[in-house]
């Protein structure tokens, strides 16, 4: 098996409503069996990401975020540097990612590029199922990931393959 060129990590907890958007997107992408792409789930522990993304060209992390004012379902394509200055959003996962990078650099476990796709959540309380606005964002989030992978020349196999 050859090493993956990219990794897509769905961060979140499916038992906290919209926090399940990362795992939902990851499961959809996993079914596409995209060559050269590793798709993984993560519970949100930033240091757990280090081994996943070490040495890949592109790491894409998908997570839910709460923002004020709230616009559930809005999609943010951002970088870790932009997250550092983000004062109007809160996530128990994505905002810990910048803290993992210095450790990753020290250990030589960083990707060539790290992209965060954050989806604004409506609710993160206990319970199963995405809210309607976040569920409606699922196809666009998936398309955003596929577009980013295509920049590297990585494409999902077509149905005719």
CATH of the domain at 132: 3.40.50.1450
Structural domain contains residue 161: no
Phi-psi category of residue 76: left, alpha or beta, with phi > 0 → left and psi -120 to 50 → alpha: beta
Phi-psi category of residue 12: left, alpha or beta, with phi > 0 → left and psi -120 to 50 → alpha: left
Q: Are 113 and 58 in contact (CB under 8 A)?
A: yes
Query: Tokens representing 43?
Result: 């519970």
Better pLDDT: 26 or 82: 26
Total domain count, the chain: 1
Structural domain contains residue 126: yes
Phi and psi (nearest 5°) for 127? 150, 160
CA distances 152 to 29, 53, 102, 125, Å, are 16, 16, 25, 37
Structural domain contains residue 158: no
Structural domain range at position 16: 6-150
Structural domain contains residue 157: no
pLDDT tens digits along 83-139 = 665 544 445 454 467 777 788 888 898 899 999 999 999 999 999 999 999 999 999
As a whole number of Å, the CA-based R_g of the chain is 15
Structural domain contains residue 160: no
pLDDT tens digits along 47-67 = 778 888 889 999 999 999 888
Structural domain contains residue 77: yes
pTM comes to: 0.89
Structural domain contains residue 50: yes
Q: Are 143 and 75 in contact (CB under 8 A)?
A: no
Q: How far is 122 from 50, CA to CA, in rounded Å?
A: 29
Structural domain contains residue 85: yes
Better pLDDT: 73 or 110: 73
Q: How far is 23 from 13, CA to CA, in rounded Å?
A: 7
CA distances 116 to 1, 158, 161, Å, are 27, 26, 30
User: Does the pLDDT at position 148 exceed 90?
Assistant: yes
pLDDT, position 105: 85
């Amino acid at each position: 098996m050859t090493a993956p060129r990219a990794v897509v990590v769905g961060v979140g907890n499916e038992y906290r409503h919209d926090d399940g958007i990362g795992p939902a997107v990851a499961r959809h992408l996993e079914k596409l069996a995209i060559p050269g792409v590793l798709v993984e789930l993560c519970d949100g522990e930033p240091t757990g990401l280090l081994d996943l993304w070490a040495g890949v060209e592109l790491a894409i992390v998908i997570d839910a975020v709460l923002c004020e004012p709230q616009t559930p379902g809005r999609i943010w394509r951002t970088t870790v540097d932009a997250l550092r200055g983000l004062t109007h959003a809160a996530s128990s996962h994505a905002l810990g990612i910048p803290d993992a990078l210095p450790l990753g650099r020290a250990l030589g476990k960083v990707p060539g590029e790290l992209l965060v796709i954050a989806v604004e959540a409506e609710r993160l309380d206990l319970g199963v199922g995405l809210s309607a606005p976040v569920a409606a964002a699922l196809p666009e989030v998936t398309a955003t990931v596929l577009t980013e992978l295509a920049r590297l020349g990585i494409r999902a196999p077509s149905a005719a393959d």
